[in-house]
Structure 1
């Protein structure tokens, strides 16, 4: 009598090797995401280059150039933003003061002392379309002094021709009046805010920057307006923006890498869980 032949157990399951990260990245769907990331990064790179081009001032103002008085029309036009190199440029403008449009702006400092500016609407001469520029005429230490100057200007200067020399300065932007203050109170020198209160403003063009007169009217002090600091020919804010766009372009590639890696890690984890389940089931 012969003994039975022993049965050697066999396994039909073949060993499964997980994919590598490189293999996952080379799959069509992730190559498609990479192509999209390249497009996004290219747009960001173009924006960075554009900002970089604006950061370097190709034709900077020569030292002392802002102190040479220029005709207003040669520096800026109505409705135009004032280029940074020209902020503080001394200009000359001729026109006529408009009656009832002498207004007060508070929170103005002269040599560190808070006070008020008296402003006016100067209707410029020799323009094809009626055009005005806001002028800061002078500084007063108290509201009473400023109001007295307005009364005097309305009585003596309104309708009279004037030639003003001063610095051309960018609009400070309107702000909401302080809580509890008169709703017409202005604390920023903003031609837009002044325009909303001018009585004679229908159908006119207006300069975005304003003119700070170097010589005050009677009863007011001259406005402290020193020469602007001479720049380095580099706009640091635009340079910062250019660096930001470069970071965003790099993030577009990181976003693709992170998504592909997450998908790879999940696939490896699923394979390990399946293998563990098969081993437990076989046991």
Structure 2
């Protein structure tokens, strides 16, 4: 079999098969990489406090690589602007977010139809256990710091039975912009800590917010909003299945080459098992191929030759039929 495998015909066939195998392995590697391409890992650099203008852009959505970044802004809350947003958790305790309009002191001025306004930030400034625990709006100039998170999916507001008109279904800046009648950045700043004017944020040497930092007016049922960075270390099992499937295809291509080579060798060693011929046949010692005598043509023919195709052999041309 090795001797036949080293002939030009079978080496050429093998080269074609190896090219296919290489392509299949590359496709398998691509699918395997796709199975983990959407993984998200915590980035320590996102925990370092930076200016809100580095992450929150006017008229632009929050991009994935900037989400969960900790920022700070100095400005003031608008009294009476607070809304509750239902179904938010602190640990395993269900409650509300208190979302308020925050006007940064260095905010962008936006020209409206009849006036101008400072682009504001929707700040989730506290988590509260019940709707009766809403803290008073902090007055004066405030510095607030926390993670920037994306908008939540829109949920119909003022439809939560028994919750009241100041309770919303989700934090969607497009809806809040209509409620407050001001332009907003299209992401939410969660308040992990806030301090009044004249005080400095409590930060570590690495520039991150200290673990026990809190907000103004915090108590047992009023707590800062401290979401963790979103992480996802899961696999896409469908891509892994496809990856294994391409490996199976590669193995099948190699098996097909070996099986065809084996069949070719066996046809030469015992042609009677593959061809309909009941007469006597002979072996050509020089080539190792079997041939037979055709009494109709009065010629010898090799068993494995193609009918109607003239070859360079001196025995003639024939291709007896395969056995059914």
- Shorter-chain TM-score bucket reads 0.5 to 0.7
Q: Paired residues, what number?
A: 233
Cα distance in 1 for residues equivalent to 2:92 and 2:226: 13
Partner residue, 1:108: 88
Cα distance in 2 for residues equivalent to 1:108 and 1:224: 12
Provide Cα deviations, 1:46-83, integer angstroms capped at 9, x if missing partner: x68x96xx9796xx449xx74xx654335x23234475
Cα distance in 1 for residues equivalent to 2:62 and 2:254: 49
Deviation at 1:256, TM superposition (A): 2.7
Partner residue, 1:265: 259
Structure-to-structure mapping, 1:29-108, within 5 angstroms:
29-34=16-21, 36-37=23-24, 40=27, 60-61=44-45, 66=48, 70-74=50-54, 76-78=55-57, 79-81=61-63, 83=65, 87=68, 89=70, 91-95=72-76, 97=78, 102-108=82-88
Deviation at 1:132, TM superposition (A): 3.0
Partner residue, 2:122: 134
Partner residue, 1:4: none
- Please give the TM-score of this superposition, normalised by the length of structure 2: 0.47
Counterparts in 2 of 1:220 and 1:194: CA distance versus 1, 3 Å: farther
Q: Which has the higher contact order (CA 8 A, sep 6+)?
A: 1
Structure-to-structure mapping, 1:175-194, within 5 angstroms:
181=160, 190=171, 193-194=172-173
Cα distance in 1 for residues equivalent to 2:121 and 2:42: 30
Counterparts in 2 of 1:82 and 1:168: CA distance versus 1, 3 Å: farther
Deviation at 1:135, TM superposition (A): 0.9
Contact 1:21 1:261 in 2 (8 A): no
Counterparts in 2 of 1:93 and 1:24: CA distance versus 1, 3 Å: farther
Matching residue within 236, 254, 276 for 2:273: 276
Structure-to-structure mapping, 1:197-208, within 5 angstroms:
197-199=176-178, 204=183, 206-208=185-187
Deviation at 1:142, TM superposition (A): 2.5
Counterparts in 2 of 1:72 and 1:256: CA distance versus 1, 3 Å: same
Provide Cα deviations, 1:1-31, integer angstroms capped at 9, x if missing partner: xxxxxxxxxxxxxxx9996599478445424
Contact 2:75 2:105 in 1 (8 A): yes
The CA RMSD measured in Å over matched residues stands at 5.7
Partner residue, 2:189: 210
Cα distance in 1 for residues equivalent to 2:6 and 2:126: 71
Deviation at 1:94, TM superposition (A): 1.6
Cα distance in 2 for residues equivalent to 1:123 and 1:222: 22
Matching residue within 122, 144, 152 for 1:165: 144
More helix by share: 1
More strand by share: 2
- Please give the TM-score of this superposition, normalised by the length of structure 1: 0.52
Larger radius of gyration: 2
Contact 2:74 2:143 in 1 (8 A): yes
Contact 1:137 1:217 in 2 (8 A): no
Counterparts in 2 of 1:83 and 1:197: CA distance versus 1, 3 Å: same
Deviation at 1:117, TM superposition (A): 1.7
SS of residue paired to 1:166: strand
**Consecutive unaligned residues in structure 2, runs of 5 or more:** 111-118, 194-214, 280-324
Contact 1:90 1:166 in 2 (8 A): yes
